[in-house]
Amino acid sequence: MDPSTTISSTELVSPARAGRIRKTMGYYAAFVALGLSAASLGPTLSGLAKHTQTRLHEISFLFMARSLGYLFGSLLGGRSYDRVSGHPVMATALIVMAVMITLAPLMSLLWLLTAVLLILGVAEGTLDVGGNTLLVWTHRDKVGPFMNGLHFCYGAGAFLSPILVAQAVLMSGDITWAYWVLALLMLPTAVWLLRLSSSTTQAASRDKPVGQVNHRSTGAHERLLVALIALFFVLHVGAESSFGGWVYTYAVALELTSETVAAYLTSAYWGSLTLGRLLVIPLAARFRPRSILLGDLVGCLAGVGVILLWPNSLTALWLGTLVLGLSIASLFPVSLSLAERCTTITGQVTGWLLVGASVGGMSLPSLIGQLFESVGPRVTMLAIMVDLVVAVGVFAVLVFYSTRPVMDDGHLSRDPNGFRNP
């Protein structure tokens, strides 16, 4: 072989690969910022209640406002990424997030704070859709490990956020500086994304492996699968956000620990979630998504079960928190990988899946907030357990329908090895 030919081929391939790496790093940094923002509300909920002179059952509406904004952001953002260049949209979302996070601790009226959190949710939903969709378009059928890496970065940001809050409260006695630091950390990623060219939706379908099972050609079946996956997102994201948002207040209300240690408990939850997403990266390349999801759900039930069995034990709370964090870690990214096997991932499809996530993040935390003071703090873990049991049922139905043979223009869709198995 002529050496010059080898060098020439390497030179042709290298820029494309380098471009994918730069894009992936940009998406990863954006999801660190998303995690920083998402995990900031739980540890600062009491501080925001003091700033607005409201009670916990009133301030809990912030979860609903933020998730409602996230829902709108998912829908509008999903369509935007199918129509315009994605990186400027993501960069704009990051800038809006930074502005809203800067304003949040300055709001002294609950309705103004609610409006700020609503806009923050819109920006978060738009950013979330963008990172997930563009990563699929960048890596196509090899996206599995990269998707878990993306959500590992989200977990890393969520892990750091309560630590920053705890340190800021210790140093300044207030939550304001914590919010401002988080806002400042988001701006460099916006600049980075603006310097990169965006992947397009055509890149997601180009070079699709020949013979891959096409669940995508049957509209009714595809819509059913998208609906089931979206419902699964409602349930497991509801559990994830409820635990992360309420475990701090739960521990303090039951007088199991101090406020500072409760902040570290919240951080431990997000830290174990981050570790879980790191551990699942090599597993995602070897095991089917449904096998990983089944193990995750069993672990989630075990973690919450420990807390329910020993409600007055701080040790049980720590153990259950760590087990739940590790187990719930990969539900989100692996669910997206499962969706990639069942349907074509467009910005709009990703948007609908994240609408499910936003409904979950809006409904269960808000329900817990309404019951927390009237029923008692222990309703938190009971509600999460019921939610997870329902999630197991939905997952069983999803697996059943996703493994059924599908008709494609009158013919069974097959790959060389049989039906594609999610």
In DSSP terms, which residues pair with 412 in a beta bridge? 407
C-alpha–C-alpha distance, residues 265 and 259, integer Å: 10
411-412 and 407-408 beta bridge pairing:
antiparallel
Which is nearest to 130 in space by CA: 172, 166, 97? Answer: 97
pLDDT at 231 over 90: yes
Mean pLDDT, the chain, rounded, equals 81
Are 71 and 359 in contact, with CB atoms under 8 Å apart? yes
Residue 416: what pLDDT?
34
Which is nearest to 154 in space by CA: 281, 339, 326, 29? Answer: 29
pLDDT at 85 over 90: no
Cβ contacts of 169-175, under 8 Å, gap ≥ 24: 169/47, 169/260, 169/263, 170/260, 174/47, 174/105, 175/44, 175/47, 175/48, 175/51, 175/105
Which is nearest to 148 in space by CA: 340, 321, 322, 15? Answer: 340
pLDDT at 12 over 50: no
Chain centre to alpha carbon of residue 277: 11
The predicted model gives 177-189 an average pLDDT of: 92
Are 375 and 250 in contact, with CB atoms under 8 Å apart? no
pLDDT at 101 over 70: yes
Decide which of 263 and 181 is more confident.
181
Give CA separation, 312 vs 1, 198, 259, 302, in Å.
72, 51, 17, 17
Residue 207: what pLDDT?
42
Interior angle at CA 221, CA 217 and CA 226, nearest 5: 100
- Confidence tier at 412 by pLDDT (50, 70, 90): very low
| pTM score, whole prediction | 0.69
Q: Cβ-count burial of 9 within 10 angstroms (0-12 exposed, 13-18 middle, 19+ buried)?
A: exposed
The predicted model gives 100-107 an average pLDDT of: 93
Residue 418: what pLDDT?
34
Are 89 and 126 in contact, with CB atoms under 8 Å apart? yes
How many helices and strands (H and E) does the chain possess?
16, 2
Query: Would you state the structure tokens that stand for residue 272, as one six-digit string?
Result: 């174990």
- Confidence tier at 201 by pLDDT (50, 70, 90): low
Alpha helical stretches, state H, 173-218: 176-194, 201-205
Cβ contacts of 170-178, under 8 Å, gap ≥ 24: 170/260, 174/47, 174/105, 175/44, 175/47, 175/48, 175/51, 175/105, 176/105, 176/106, 178/40, 178/44
Residue 213: what pLDDT?
38
pLDDT at 74 over 50: yes
Residue 422: what pLDDT?
61
Three-state DSSP state, 99: helix
The predicted model gives 312-324 an average pLDDT of: 94
pLDDT at 125 over 60: yes
Residue 31: what pLDDT?
94
Domain locations in the chain?
17-197+212-406
Q: Which CATH number, 3.40.228.10, 1.20.1250.20, 3.30.499.10, 1.10.645.10, labels domain 17-197+212-406?
A: 1.20.1250.20
Torsional sign, CA 109, 45, 30, 353: negative
C-alpha–C-alpha distance, residues 298 and 88, integer Å: 40
Query: Would you state the structure tokens that stand for residue 9, as one six-digit string?
Result: 């081929």
- Contacting residues for 269 by C-beta, under 8 A, at least 6 apart: 243, 244, 247, 321, 322, 324, 325
- Confidence tier at 186 by pLDDT (50, 70, 90): very high
pLDDT at 407 over 70: no
